[in-house]
Structure 1
C-alpha cells in the first residue's frame, strides 16, 4: 500500500482544527474523513475500517481514551493503528493513552510534518511495505533507501534520494527552486538556488538510460515537477 491510498479517520470536536487536519492530510496524499465525537467515530468504524485513526482525547461524551479502549476490545478493529492527538501534556497522561491502546501520542499543537511522520511510522509497523512509493516504473522504499526503475536497482546520492522521494510524494506538482530548498533543507539553511539544478542533473543521470523517458520536467520560470506526461 502507498501513502496515497491510506485512509485516515480524524476524530476531533473543534471544527476549525478538524478542517485544518483534513485539508493538510489530503494535501499530503491521504484520504481523510472527519467526525466530531466518540459515538460518531465508533459508528464510522463499524461502517468502514480505515487504515489509521487520529483520535483527540478530549471529546464530548465518550472520551478519546474510551474510544481507543473500545477499538482494542473489538476483534475486527483491535490491530487498527491509533494515534492520539491531545492538548494534555502531562507525562502520566501519555502513559495512560499508551496503556489504553494508542500506538502513539502527540501533544497539540503539533506541525503537520510531525503528524505525517508519526502516521507513516505506525502504518509501517502495522502494514509491511506501506510507505513504498511508486510512480510510472519507479519504485522507492524510504525505509531501506532502495530505488528501482523497471526492476533495475539505481544508485542515488543522499540528496538525490531526498529529492526523488520529495517529488514522488508530490507527483505532477510544479515546485520552484525556492520551494524545493525550503522543503529539503529548511528555512535556516543558506544554500544557493543553482545547487538545485546541480542535484536535478545528477538525479536525471541516475534515473535515465538513453532510451528511457525523463520524468523530471523542467517548467520554464516556474521550476521542476515529476511528470510522465509526454
Structure 2
C-alpha cells in the first residue's frame, strides 16, 4: 500500500525560512505550501487540508497567535496540528495563548524542526485513535 503524500503549510514572512522549510520537507517527500502572511490562514488551510501547519508569530496584519486561534476555532481545520515558531523569548506562553500543539524557538536546528513536525503527526494519530 502506498502511503499518501504528507502536506505541510508554512506561514512565515522570512523568505529564507520558507525556502529552508520547503527544501527540507520536499526532500522528505512532502507537498509544501508556503505563505508570507496569514490573514487568510483559515481559508488557505481549509483549501489545502494539510497534515500539519507551521506558523511564525511575527506576521503582517493578523499575527501568528491570532491566526492559530482562528484555526483552532474553525470546525473544519481545528484538529490539524499547528506549531508556533518564533524568536520571542515568551514562546511557551504565546503557544499556550494561541492553543498551538507545539512550538519551536528560532533560530532552530533542521533536525529539530523535522522531529517537531513528525512529532505533531504522531501526536495527531494518537489523538485520533
TM range (shorter): 0.7 to 0.9
- Name 2:44's counterpart in structure 1: 44
Q: Tell me the CA shift for residue 112 of structure 1.
A: 1.3
TM-score normalized by structure 1? 0.51
User: Structure 1: any 5+ residue segments left out of the alignment?
Assistant: 129-230
- Name 2:97's counterpart in structure 1: 99
* 3-state SS of 1:17 partner: helix
| Bigger Rg, structure 1 or 2 | 1
Higher relative contact order (CA 8 A, sep 6+): 2
TM-score normalized by structure 2? 0.88
- Name 2:107's counterpart in structure 1: 109
Taking the aligned partners of 1:48 and 1:40, their CA distance within structure 2 comes to: 12
Q: Tell me the CA shift for residue 12 of structure 1.
A: 0.8
Taking the aligned partners of 2:94 and 2:56, their CA distance within structure 1 comes to: 14
Taking the aligned partners of 2:40 and 2:28, their CA distance within structure 1 comes to: 25
State the Cα deviation string for residues 37-57 of structure 1 (Å, max 9, x = none).
012433311322111001101
- Name 2:75's counterpart in structure 1: 75
The number of aligned residues is 125
Moved over 6 A (4+): none
* 3-state SS of 1:125 partner: helix
Taking the aligned partners of 2:121 and 2:97, their CA distance within structure 1 comes to: 19
Whether the 8 Å CA contact 1:12–1:18 is kept in 2: the answer is yes
